[in-house]
């Protein structure tokens, strides 16, 4: 089979990924609540298990990508993700569902960081920048189709879209094995064993992080962001189902509401991000930190407001605002962490960012879930929003320390998916 150009593979991969990921994520929480019958603590523990798995393997798999090859790291990740979702589709207990998250967490680490590093190696930094923007558009297009198909399949059986998602991810991994090129495979010094190369890569990446104080603050910010998002991601759907309630839609299944919520939220997020790209002047750490501080203040207010509001339509509006703000925040934050990185350690440093986010989610998740079980879901969601407050002080410190580089606007489309690739 003839191999495709790297840019074509990149765009196709993200379109297919957007489709299959949203095939699952649209019904993920509803499936766990209605079919597996998990309570608030168990719902959040699903995320904690996922993040602990991600945490334990993120840096080792990032080093593998930097030393063995980014292509095969990505392929392994998609194959493993497919197996995880197939297993989840047959889950009838917390234990089986949790096992699927272990497998998915490990598999996702093979992709995280390796995808961006692979594209940059294949086409170069300058040629890669416009592809980041286009890949986002392709991903969102696939996501919108995935949401519609997910709702249609879930109307037949809640497990069906998750099963097809798993089969599809496995098929994507097989296809990439034949379509991807890797013209710049990582090299090792003659006579140096693989373990020495891994050690050297990690050491270089660690030194790079220590050498940039702002980068250390960025990683701390990633951890607090993860701590805040975990409760929201796991409990917002539960609040709609058991707290606020969903108005009837005639004879349609109530899962249609989640398709509407996700679909409209995605479109609003696309619009918000497009506005920032046109209007935002993003240069240096100081200016980006100020923008992110404003976004996080709005996120705190919106999440807490959603938790305490009693009106369905106000809750829907706040739900969409949170989604839009996170759509704006994620690529800007990603570009912040990627400024001035050494190409030899890019995937490993990106993996450290993912690991910091996972630390926050793993530590905060059980606490938020425990509050949801012992007190109420609104209290748990409020706590999740307030966990973002310390980030504001970290932004202030980053602003005081100044800049270490510049941030061209087109770079903000670079993605390492600290949270988006989680169901």
Give every CB contact of residue 304 below 8 A, 6+ residues apart in sequence.
381, 382, 385, 386
**CA 313 to CA 321: how far, in whole Å?**
12
Per-residue pLDDT, 96: 96
Q: Is 255 helix (H, G, I), strand (E, B) or coil?
A: helix
Burial 32-48 (b: 16+ CB within 10 A, else e): bbebbebebbbbbbbbb
Per-residue pLDDT, 271: 83
**CA 120 to CA 125: how far, in whole Å?**
5
For the stretch 283-296, pLDDT in tens is 566 777 788 888 99
The owner of tokens 């196709």 is 12
- The closest of 324, 311, 13, 329 to 168, measured between CA atoms, is 13
Query: Which tokens sit at 193?
Result: 């064993």
Residues, the chain: 423
* Angle at CA of residue 12, ends 67 and 99, nearest 5°: 65
Give every CB contact of residue 54 below 8 A, 6+ residues apart in sequence.
105, 106, 108, 109, 112, 354, 355, 358
**CA 276 to CA 349: how far, in whole Å?**
26
- The closest of 86, 81, 78, 74 to 103, measured between CA atoms, is 81
Domains in the chain (CATH in brackets) are 6-180+197-407 (1.20.1250.20)
**CA 139 to CA 10: how far, in whole Å?**
10
Sign of the four-CA dihedral 85, 86, 92, 93: negative
**CA 379 to CA 389: how far, in whole Å?**
16
Per-residue pLDDT, 93: 93
Per-residue pLDDT, 191: 36
**CA 185 to CA 188: how far, in whole Å?**
10
For the stretch 346-356, pLDDT in tens is 656 666 777 78
Which residues of the chain fall short of a pLDDT of 70? Answer: 1-2, 59, 61-62, 65-66, 133, 184-215, 250-252, 276-277, 279-285, 334-351, 401-423
Per-residue pLDDT, 423: 56
**CA 312 to CA 282: how far, in whole Å?**
36
């Amino acid at each position: 089979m003839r191999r495709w150009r790297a840019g074509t593979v990149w765009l196709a991969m993200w379109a297919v990924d957007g489709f299959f990921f949203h095939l699952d994520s649209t019904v993920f929480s509803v499936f766990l609540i209605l079919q597996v019958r998990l309570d608030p603590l168990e719902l959040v523990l699903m995320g904690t298990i996922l993040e602990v798995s991600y945490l334990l393997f993120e840096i080792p798999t990032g080093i593998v990508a930097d030393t063995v090859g980014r292509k095969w790291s990505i392929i392994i990740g998609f194959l493993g993700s497919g197996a995880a979702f197939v297993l989840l589709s047959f889950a009838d207990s917390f234990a089986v569902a949790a096992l699927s998250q272990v497998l998915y967490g490990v598999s996702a680490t093979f992709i995280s960081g390796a995808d961006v590093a692979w594209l940059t190696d294949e086409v170069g930094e300058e040629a890669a920048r416009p592809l980041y923007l286009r890949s986002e558009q392709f991903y969102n297009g696939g996501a919108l189709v995935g949401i519609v198909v997910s709702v249609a399949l879930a109307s037949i059986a809640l497990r069906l879209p998750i099963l097809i998602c798993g089969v599809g991810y496995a098929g994507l991994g097989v296809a990439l094995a034949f379509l991807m090129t890797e013209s710049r495979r990582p090299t090792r010094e003659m006579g140096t064993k693989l373990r020495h190369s891994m050690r050297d890569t990690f050491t270089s990446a660690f030194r790079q992080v220590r050498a940039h104080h702002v980068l250390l603050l960025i990683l701390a910010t990633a951890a607090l962001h993860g701590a805040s998002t975990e409760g929201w991601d796991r409990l917002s759907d539960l609040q709609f189902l058991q707290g606020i309630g969903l108005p009837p839609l005639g004879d349609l299944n109530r899962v249609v509401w989640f398709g509407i919520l996700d679909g409209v939220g995605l479109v609003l997020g696309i619009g918000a991000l497009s506005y920032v790209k046109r209007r935002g002047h993003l240069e240096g750490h100081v200016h980006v930190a100020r923008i992110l501080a404003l976004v996080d203040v709005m996120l705190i207010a919106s999440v807490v407001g959603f938790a305490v509001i009693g009106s369905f339509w106000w809750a829907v509006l706040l739900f969409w605002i949170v989604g839009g703000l996170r759509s704006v925040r994620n690529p800007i934050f990603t570009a912040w962490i990627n400024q001035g990185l050494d190409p030899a350690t890019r995937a490993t440093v990106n993996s450290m960012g993912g690991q910091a986010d996972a630390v926050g989610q793993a530590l905060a998740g059980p606490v938020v879930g425990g509050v949801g079980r012992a007190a109420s879901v609104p209290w748990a969601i409020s706590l999740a929003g307030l966990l973002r407050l310390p980030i504001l002080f970290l932004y202030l410190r980053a602003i005081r320390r100044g800049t270490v580089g510049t941030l061209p606007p087109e770079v903000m489309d670079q993605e390492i998916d600290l949270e988006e690739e989680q169901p």
